[in-house]
Chains A and B, each alone.
Chain A
């Protein structure tokens, strides 16, 4: 568990992106980017076909 926790150092201040009046943490930005990637993959990737349709 400690080795897993070492992957992300939570003891330092968070990193933020400033863009005009927009301010967002890098962590939230990464989550939004991952959501966009997952959404694109869900649209593009073929769905495995199980049992045959009637």
Chain B
């Protein structure tokens, strides 16, 4: 990889290459690092304080959803390690099977309450549309993931669900490549493809929450109605990436 020196009047490039030492144009890794750090500086990526309005139980359900998802993934990993001959017959296997089921139930329980809360807050305000959309996508794909999980139980319940679902799926045309009667295919969707997509959207969703901040209550939002109007040339809000202008200074925000 070759590093080129910037000319003194190459201001725009110099700004983009702010992370590069000694005026060298960074490699793609350097540019990526610079953009990532600019978008999510460490104090924003892992904050140790939150706005005062976050001190409410209704703001807890996003974190509860993530905690339940972690239990889902961990219990699912144990089931994958040991296999169906274990989770169907041994007491410990049945326990982990139940943990996987009930953590999924709690995952959806918390996620729906989180969804209601954010809908009532109109949480897409303040340049948070992408946060809302990634949350919706994570929710919808989670439903498909849970559905393939029910198909993977290897019992009469999964047999009933798959035979009832096949006509509906076939009616959409998706049955041509997504056969709910194919256990192996449904298991792979359940443990590989769909969890990867859910994890991707949940990860993006959390990073966007870090970047834009937790949506403020309506009263605070009215106090700062110009989130988008105050956006600067680089797309960043003058009030701090969608955070209320009343909390633009760090002392007031925290």
Contact = CB atoms under 8 A, between A and B. Distances in A.
Contact of A38 (B49, B113, B251, B254): B113
Contacts of B55: 47, 49
A42 B57 contact: yes
Interface of B: 49, 52, 55-58, 60-61, 109, 112-113, 116-117, 251, 254
Given A31-B109, A38-B113, A53-B254, A47 B49 contact: no
14 contacts: A31-B109, A35-B109, A35-B116, A38-B109, A42-B60, A42-B61, A43-B56, A43-B58, A45-B57, A47-B56, A49-B55, A53-B49, A54-B251, A54-B254
The B interface is mostly helix, strand or loop, or mixed, namely helix
Given A34-B109, A42-B58, A42-B117, 7 more contacts: A31-B109, A35-B112, A43-B58, A43-B117, A47-B55, A49-B55, A54-B254
Interface of A: 31, 34-35, 38-39, 41-43, 45, 47, 49, 53-54
Contact of B57 (A34, A41, A49, A53): A41
A42 B254 CA distance: 23
Contacts of B254: 53-54
Contacts of A53: 49, 52, 254
A43 B60 CA distance: 11
7 closest A-B pairs by beta carbon, nearest first, are: A42-B57, A42-B58, A47-B55, A39-B113, A54-B254, A47-B56, A43-B58
A49 B254 CA distance: 14
A42 B49 contact: no
B205 to A, nearest CB: 20
Contacts of A38: 109, 113
Given A49-B55, A54-B49, A54-B251, A39 B117 contact: yes
